[in-house]
């Protein structure tokens, strides 16, 4: 079994032993790696008053949320269910920012009842919130036009097409709704991109946020959302966090001089904190020639790792069973009843039936986006702390799938 440095997150544990205990496919997460990523983020922004709110949507088992609670973060929740999971994990209501999209009135009512902070991203929701919960403080999620950066066509398109946020053109109307309803706006929020690739886009969004803040004199925090990408391959372009923080600091200091106070800066990383901390382990169930192609079938698919199918995402793959094998080119496919390529034209050490493959960068939006397509159960999830492996979500069974079907 390989002892490659890339596998250090296993902490010296034998992946075959883990799979013997919990079966494959299997999600494995490293607490140590998550804590290291938190330390990197804090170090980059050390010169600024800041707070991290972990984006629960990236990976949401209660044990993972407890880990972030232990490390002193807050929580970004986008559904009432994530909010309630956060409370179960030990977060205080005031440490959770509830950021729904097109919420039902019942969701807003429940979030206010539970005491969470409420982030509002449309005029319609703001009006309903004011009428029903004018006593409760709120945050406004903005959609500044600063996304149209010459340095990022992707970001500009993301802003134009995004369903999220109150546009800057609606800000005057939002301020009137706030005044008329005597609402207390405690924060402003912006999510500059789902994938931030350079500091320019982020800084433009920050400037727009600081400009909008002038309309609201009692802000406690300014939330910059998430979107910090991690590299999946060596040549992937990613933003330099230290550069970003260094460029943000003078802009922030200039803003606070005129504003008269220093609102805390909030960030909502998810992928940055957990992506590199996770592996998906899968067993090779067969090999097949398809013309000139060589297919390697595994006991998983886009029902467990959707990102390659949905986004064309690239995940590094390690053949744990035969790392020194003769290299060959493979297409890695799953077991579903339709094309579910996990990797195409991938050169890997010789793959044999029964080999164990590791899919890297599987901590974020892997298990959290898994489904029961083809009536297949979702994998077990294990958290590693040092040399201890803890089951944090058991493998599903057919009985689990039948529980919600009366009469089945």
Residue pointed to by tokens 């950066």 = 149
Q: Dihedrals φ, ψ of 163, to 5°?
A: -85, -5
Query: Omega into 360 within 30° of 0, i.e. cis?
Result: no
Sign of the alpha-carbon dihedral angle for 120, 126, 132, 133:
positive
Reported as half-sphere exposure (CB side, CA atoms, 13 A), residue 86 has a value of: 31
Sign of the alpha-carbon dihedral angle for 102, 107, 108, 109:
positive
Q: Write b or e for each residue in 84-102: b if 16 or more Cβ atoms lie within 10 A of its Cβ, otherwise e.
A: bbbbebebebebbbbbbee
| Burial (CB count within 10 angstroms: exposed 0-12, middle 13-18, buried 19+), residue 404 | exposed
| CATH of 5-29+275-402 given 2.40.37.10, 3.40.50.720, 3.40.50.1820, 3.40.50.1000 | 2.40.37.10
Q: Are 65 and 85 in contact (CB under 8 A)?
A: yes
Nearest to 304 by CA among 224, 374, 251: 374
Q: Which residues of the chain have pLDDT under 50?
A: 1-3, 146-152
| Burial (CB count within 10 angstroms: exposed 0-12, middle 13-18, buried 19+), residue 304 | buried
Q: How far apart, in whole angstroms, are the C-alpha atoms of residue 305 and residue 379?
A: 11
Question: Measuring CA to CA, how many Å separate 130 from each of 126, 140, 151, 228?
Answer: 6, 12, 38, 33
Q: How far apart, in whole angstroms, are the C-alpha atoms of residue 305 and residue 318?
A: 16
Judge whether 387 counts as a catalytic residue: no
- What is the tens place of the pLDDT at every residue in 54-73? 999 999 999 999 999 999 99
Give the containing element (helix H, strand E) for 43: helix 31-44
Residue 195, pLDDT score: 59
Q: How far apart, in whole angstroms, are the C-alpha atoms of residue 63 and residue 69?
A: 10
- Domain ranges within the chain, ordered by starting residue: 5-29+275-402, 31-272
Question: Measuring CA to CA, how many Å separate 48 from each of 249, 250, 254, 368?
Answer: 7, 10, 13, 32
3-state secondary structure of 267: strand
Could you tell me what percentage of the chain is helix, strand and coil, using 3-state DSSP and rounding each to the nearest 5? 40, 25, 40
Residue 169, pLDDT score: 86
CB atoms closer than 10 angstroms to residue 375? 9
Among candidate residues 19, 138, 139, 337, the one labeled active-site is: 337
Q: Dihedrals φ, ψ of 88, to 5°?
A: -65, -30
Residue 198, pLDDT score: 72
Residue 381, pLDDT score: 98
Q: Dihedrals φ, ψ of 209, to 5°?
A: -65, -45
In CATH, what number does 31-272 get? 3.20.20.10
Residue 10, pLDDT score: 87
CA angle 143, 145, 147 (to 5 degrees): 95
Nearest to 206 by CA among 182, 222, 186: 222
Residue 197, pLDDT score: 64
pTM of the shown model = 0.93
Q: How far apart, in whole angstroms, are the C-alpha atoms of residue 351 and residue 126?
A: 56
Nearest to 126 by CA among 259, 216, 260: 216
Question: Measuring CA to CA, how many Å separate 249 from each of 37, 48, 190, 203, 265?
Answer: 21, 7, 17, 10, 11
Question: Measuring CA to CA, how many Å separate 161 from each of 154, 216, 221, 247?
Answer: 11, 27, 27, 27
């Amino acid at each position: 079994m390989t002892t490659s440095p890339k596998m250090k997150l296993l902490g010296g544990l034998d992946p075959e032993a883990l799979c013997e205990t919990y079966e494959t496919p299997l999600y494995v997460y490293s607490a140590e790696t998550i804590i290291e990523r938190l330390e990197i983020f804090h170090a980059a922004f050390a010169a600024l008053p800041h707070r991290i709110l972990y984006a629960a949507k990236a990976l949401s088992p209660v044990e993972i949320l407890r880990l972030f609670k232990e490390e002193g973060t807050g929580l970004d929740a986008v559904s009432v269910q994530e909010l309630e999971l956060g409370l179960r994990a030990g977060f205080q209501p005031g440490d959770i920012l509830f950021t729904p999209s097109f919420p039902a009135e019942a969701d807003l009512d429940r979030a206010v009842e539970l005491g969470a902070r409420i982030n509002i991203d449309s005029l319609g929701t703001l009006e309903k919130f004011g009428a029903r919960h004018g006593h409760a403080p709120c945050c406004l999620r903005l959609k500044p036009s600063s996304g149209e950066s010459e340095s990022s066509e992707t970001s500009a398109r993301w802003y134009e097409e995004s369903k999220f946020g109150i546009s800057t053109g609606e800000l005057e109307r939002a301020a009137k709704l706030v005044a008329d309803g005597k609402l207390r706006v405690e924060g402003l929020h912006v999510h500059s991109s789902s994938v931030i690739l350079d500091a320019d886009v982020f800084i433009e969004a920050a400037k727009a946020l600081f400009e909008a803040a002038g309309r609201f004199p009692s802000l406690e925090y300014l939330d910059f959302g998430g979107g910090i990408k991690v590299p999946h391959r060596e040549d992937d372009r990613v933003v330099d966090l230290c550069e970003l923080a260094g460029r943000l600091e003078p802009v922030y200091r200039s803003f606070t001089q005129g504003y008269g106070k220093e609102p805390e800066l909030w960030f909502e990383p998810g992928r940055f904190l957990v992506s590199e901390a996770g592996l998906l382990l899968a067993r090779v169930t067969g090999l097949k020639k398809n013309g000139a192609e060589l297919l390697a079938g595994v006991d998983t698919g886009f029902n467990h790792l959707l990102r390659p199918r949905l986004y064309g995402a690239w995940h590094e793959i390690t053949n744990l069973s035969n790392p020194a094998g003769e290299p060959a080119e493979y297409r890695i496919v799953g077991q579903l009843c339709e094309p579910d390529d996990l990797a195409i034209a991938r050169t890997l050490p010789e793959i044999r039936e029964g080999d164990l493959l590791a899919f890297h960068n599987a901590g974020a939006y892997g298990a959290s986006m898994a489904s029961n397509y083809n009536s297949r159960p979702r994998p077990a999830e294990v958290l590693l702390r040092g040399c201890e492996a803890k089951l944090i979500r058991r493998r599903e069974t057919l009985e689990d799938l039948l529980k919600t079907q009366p009469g089945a």
